[in-house]
Structure 1
Amino acid sequence: MGELKHCPSCNDFFNYTGIREVCNKCALDEEKLYEEVYRFLRKRENRAATIERIVEVIGVKKSLLHKWVRKGRLQPATFPNLGYPCDNCGKLITQGKLCENCVVDLKSGLRQFDAAIEFRNKVNEHEATYRKDRR
């Protein structure tokens, strides 16, 4: 059973079933835009087009292009200048949610946190041993 939601594109109500984020009318409009973008990119001279170029020529929103790349409808292997923004810094990526730099930073932060926890546990353990010996 679906729930009633506002369409983020046209603000109409629609029955959200978890399949589409927009109403049927907007989904059809998006599909027409997708077909137009795909036809544009299939031409040899346009395969290396950037997102900005596609927006300029077709008039599609960047967010839609990002969505199609994220969902795998537009393959960066075929169209090398396409991607979507990293969830953390906004750098253009082609897979996952974070760019390589953000992943490295996150792992580094986690290692530092784990080291701090381990150090705190050792200090607490040492203090407990010291107090027990002093009795």
Structure 2
Amino acid sequence: MGFDNLVECKICGKLFMKTGRKNICPSCLNKEEELFMEVKNYLYDSPNASIKEVAEQTEIDEGLIMDWVREGRLERTGIIMTYPCEMCGKPIHTGKICKSCQNELGVVSDSLSGTKDEGKDETKRSMYISDKFKK
């Protein structure tokens, strides 16, 4: 058994055994959850508040609130907050890019992989034919 899970907390710097996805020690994670509940409670009272307003009123870092919005944690509570798409700037409430930008990226990806797929088809056919010869 090694120390592969031994990491440094990105908040306080203490070493701990990582069991989840975040690089935050249990103590800092509990503090972060308390902050999350504070934001969640504020949003129940002021559901139309902007991220900036929430950060100012709760004195919680705007970046941390943005992380929770991107993760969809605040949306699951029935509160939908918006922030700009990283590509076009349209308001979105989950992820990093809007659906139309995702579609554009999909078209570009399909066109790029179209040339690759042709090669894959040839490989599949030749593998299939060679398999036939082996039998």
Instruction: Give the TM-score category using the shorter length.
Output: 0.5 to 0.7
In the superposition, the TM-score normalised over structure 2's length comes to 0.66
Aligned-pair distance for 1:93? 3.0
User: Which residue of 59, 84, 87 maps to 1:89?
Assistant: 87
Q: What CA distance in whole angstroms lies between the structure 2 residues aligned with 1:22 and 1:84?
A: 25
Q: Kindly state the Cα deviation for residue 16 of structure 1 after the two structures are TM-superposed.
A: 0.3
Determine what percentage of the aligned residue pairs are the same residue.
Answer: 30
- 1:53-68 maps to which residues of 2 (within 5 A)? 53-68=53-68
What's the counterpart of residue 73 of structure 1?
73
- Count residues with an aligned counterpart: 115
Distance 1:114 1:16, change over 3 A: closer
Task: Please give the alpha-carbon distance, in whole angstroms, between the structure 2 residues aligned to 1:31 and 1:16.
Answer: 17
CA distance 1:90–1:18, change in 2 (3 Å): farther
CA gap of 1:85–1:14, structure 2 versus 1, over 3 A, is farther
Cα 1:11–1:62 shift into 2, 3 Å:
same
* Partner SS state of residue 74, structure 1: helix
Point out the more displaced range, 8-17 or 97-106.
97-106
The runs of at least 4 aligned residues of structure 1 exceeding 4 Å deviation read 83-86
TM-score, with structure 1 as normaliser:
0.66
Distance 1:114 1:38, change over 3 A: closer
- Determine if contact 1:66/1:83 at 8 Å carries over to the other structure: no
1:9-48 matched pairs, under 5 angstroms: 9-43=11-45, 46-48=46-48
Give the structure 1 partner of residue 106 of structure 2.
107
Deviation at 1:22, TM superposition (A): 0.7
Residue 29 of structure 2 aligns to which amino acid in structure 1? A
Partners of 1:70 and 1:84 within 8 A in 2: no
Over the aligned positions, Cα root-mean-square deviation in angstroms equals 3.1
Q: Which runs of 5+ in 1 are unaligned?
A: 122-135
Question: Unaligned 5+ residue runs, structure 2?
Answer: 120-135
* Residue type of the alignment partner of 1:102: C
